[in-house]
Amino acid sequence: MYKGYSNKILRVNLTDGKITTETINEDWARLFIGGRGYGEKMISEEVDANIDPLSPDNKVVFATGPLVGTMAPSASRIMVITKGTLNGTLACSNGGGYFGSELKMAGYDLVIFEGKASQPVYLWIDDDQVELRDASHIWSEMSSDSDRMLREETHVEAHTMVIGPAGEKLSKMSGVMFDGHRASGRTGVGAVVGSKNLKGIAVHGTKGVDVSDPEGFKKAVFDAYKLLSEHEVAAKGLPSTGTPILVNILNNAGSFPFRNAQDAYMPTANKISGETMIKQTLVQKKGCMGCPIDCGRVTEIREGKYKGHKGEGPEYETVWSLGSMCGVEDLNAITMAHYLCDDYGMDGISVGVTIACAMELYENGFMPKQDAPFPLNFGDAEAMVEMVKMIGERKGLGDLMSEGSYRLAEHYGHPELSMSVKKQEIPAYDPRGVKGIGLEYATSNRGACHVRGYTIAPEILGTPVQVDRLAYEGKAGLVKTFQDLTASVDASGACLFTTFGMGAPNYAQLLTTATGIEYDEESVMLAGERIWNLERLFNLKAGLTREDDTLPKRFLDEPVKTGPSKGEVTDLSKMLPEYYQLRGWDSEGRPTQTKLKELELD
């Protein structure tokens, strides 16, 4: 068997309580690497693409990659894979922290859950000792309290995965939380976990991970750390200010969606920037297992209505979604709302965008005033925070809003006011001001997403090279390249931020010396392309079509009103046909038999 893997999968049938182990499929490991790739292959083989995501017949996989638990930098990621509730796509949500490494140290590459428990349970993994335990007393507890209670009941050094009340109540915006604060938030994976009466997992591991070529791996690790230590973003920007360093950068580029993306520039963005956070709320920085970047932030609200609350975050995405997108410029309120999203176990991106959608519906008179618990006006920080609570508890209007912005806007007859793609809310980059990210949103297999093809790196940050953010030429190839590389990085278990400094040859060097499978730049990229096409095939079976590869009408037809991108719209017709051609797909976005044969997917 290849090295780098624990060579063990844990299968848990929640219906009958049976727990079994099986070995890694070597062919799948070779073709799909691990993590996102291997886990999605399992779901593709075992789950009907047309199934109701909340059916007991749906399954959910927690998957690590071969670099997780090793000395490779920032290699602690774990993927939560299922058929998602938000939009029915092949859902894969990426989480950080320490849980993935701890699972690997316990001797497992993946855990797959099937069926449904008759009452709330959690899984306790202590190396080779694995058991299901009653979780009735933890059900309904917030994420942070659930994390604490699981560790008190199991082991002080255990690491946890839990769902909060939102997942229990089957919110389509619910995620899972690792160690109480690190989220796998996107695509509604928390609702699938909740539908199975699974409250969480606690794991304690004491084993190591063997690599194929220890000396070669040490050199590959040294080379990777050196590259990261020399990169402006990885070594300076993110460690000093965290991801909120992007607030002023994106706003000054005219790509910071404001008030439900009615504009792409926020005049008072500096009030909620990473630089302001350092002065106002920052306590210390905090990273994931084995991470030299330390992009996370521990914060405390020191004044105002929410004074005394402490936690982790907000990150760039929630500073934007709960701030600029809602027209809110109160950093303390944004921070409080972020804490609440974590505690309820919700995706802060989708929550903020859905609140912004509700505000536009309300202000335009499309939402009857009697439906709103209080006035929902842009810029009202207190209303924004209260709506987060109502969504988490599914109370009043929050019940409908917990279904996401698309269903909310559709309910009131204006689906065009949902800033979503494939029913998933957009992240914090206005595609009118950054053309490549617009194509990435439109074609992303899990709906609007930035971390599946982060073209912001070259289009805004100038890494590895600067490209014109407003140009269309070359963007189809750029997006494909970033999507394929990211798929392989996700499969390896490394963090996306390592691509600030590292490229396909570096991941090839790490994977080869860790696993014993021979990788080069071409095979790393081919594995990523294979994963991307596997996702596309699942979604096509689930009923998605070329018509879903688009953007909200606002980005296509409504020019940016102010700021550096004034007058810009996004013209997908200048990129999408070329993108399909480069992918080897037909004009309807379907992989050809020639392409599938090339990728060994036929």
Question: Which CATH number applies to 243-425: 3.40.630.40, 3.30.70.270, 1.10.569.10, 3.30.70.260?
Answer: 1.10.569.10
Q: Say what the pLDDT of residue 121 is.
A: 98
- Domains of the chain, residue spans: 9-204, 243-425, 435-598
Is a pLDDT exceeding 90 seen at residue 438? yes
Write the single-letter amino acid at 467. V
Dihedral Cα 495, 499, 503, 505, nearest 10 deg: -20
DSSP secondary structure, 454-489, as one string:
-THIIIII--SS---TT--TTHHHHHHHHHHHHHHH
Residue whose pair of structure tokens reads 């229990």 in the numeric block: 168
Q: Say what the pLDDT of residue 323 is.
A: 98
| 243-425 and 435-598 share one fold | no
Is a pLDDT exceeding 90 seen at residue 394? yes
Q: Are 359 and 351 in contact (CB under 8 A)?
A: no
| CATH T-level fold of 435-598 | 1.10.599
Average pLDDT in the chain: 97
Whole-prediction pTM: 0.97
Omega before residue 591 within 30° of 0, cis: no
What's the rounded mean pLDDT across residues 177-206? Answer: 96
8-state DSSP, 229:
H
Q: Say what the pLDDT of residue 176 is.
A: 98
At residue 151 the predicted structure's pLDDT band, cuts being 50, 70 and 90, is very high
**Coil vs helix vs strand at 297:** strand
What's the rounded mean pLDDT across residues 284-298? Answer: 90
pLDDT in tens, 4-23: 999 999 999 999 999 999 99
CA atoms of 62 and 106, how far apart (whole Å)? 14
pLDDT in tens, 83-119: 999 999 999 999 999 999 999 999 999 999 999 999 9
For the chain, how many residues are written?
Answer: 602
Closest CA relative to residue 515, chosen from 22, 27, 30: 30
Q: Are 514 and 70 in contact (CB under 8 A)?
A: yes
Write the single-letter amino acid at 479. V
User: To the nearest 5 percent, what fractions of the chain are helix, strand and coil?
Assistant: 45, 15, 40
What's the rounded mean pLDDT across residues 60-80? Answer: 97
CA atoms of 484 and 475, how far apart (whole Å)? 14
At residue 1 the predicted structure's pLDDT band, cuts being 50, 70 and 90, is confident
Is a pLDDT exceeding 90 seen at residue 413? yes
Is a pLDDT exceeding 90 seen at residue 562? yes
Q: Say what the pLDDT of residue 289 is.
A: 87
Q: Are 47 and 93 in contact (CB under 8 A)?
A: no
pLDDT in tens, 364-391: 999 999 999 999 999 999 999 999 999 9
What's the rounded mean pLDDT across residues 242-271? Answer: 97
Q: Say what the pLDDT of residue 173 is.
A: 97
Residues of the chain above pLDDT 90, percent: 96
Question: Which CATH number applies to 9-204: 3.60.9.10, 1.10.10.60, 3.40.190.10, 3.75.10.10?
Answer: 3.60.9.10
pLDDT in tens, 332-347: 999 999 999 999 999 9
Alpha-carbon distances, residue 125 vs 103, 122, 374 (angstroms): 8, 10, 46
pLDDT in tens, 500-526: 999 999 999 999 999 999 999 999 999
CA atoms of 212 and 282, how far apart (whole Å)? 42
CA atoms of 214 and 225, how far apart (whole Å)? 16
CA atoms of 584 and 526, how far apart (whole Å)? 13
CA atoms of 464 and 445, how far apart (whole Å)? 25
